[in-house]
Homo-oligomer: A and B are copies of this chain.
């Protein structure tokens, strides 16, 4: 934890809002989940199948965090085997809108990144 005493020369203090939000969105599962819920409410197991590679544990954990942050809503429908529907909240939607920008950036610039990587890797011979 530390003190977070105003050291003065820190551009990014540990407690700034950016850090808090970053701790949330610096979680690829959270970003992917928000992206899906943006379109429509989805049930737990459905989400699980939609997101390749996520485990039940991570999905559960991530949803809980997102719910805690007020970014997604949880609605338990008392059917026989209980059904739970997750949806994005208005707040979550504003964030997801920002993230859309990121998704667009990804698709637009991914190629340049991959090229840069290739060049970097071939340049530093001998490493590894």
Residues of A within 8 A of B (CB): 2, 4, 7, 9-14, 17-28, 31-32, 35-36, 49-53, 67-71, 91, 94-95, 98-99, 101-103, 105-107, 109-110, 112-117, 119-121
Contact = CB atoms under 8 A, between A and B. Distances in A.
Contact of A21 (B25, B52, B102, B116): B102
A25 B70 contact: no
A117 B12 CA distance: 23
B94 A109 contact: yes
A7 B68 contact: no
A12 B121 CA distance: 27
Contacts of A21: 102, 105-106, 109-110, 113
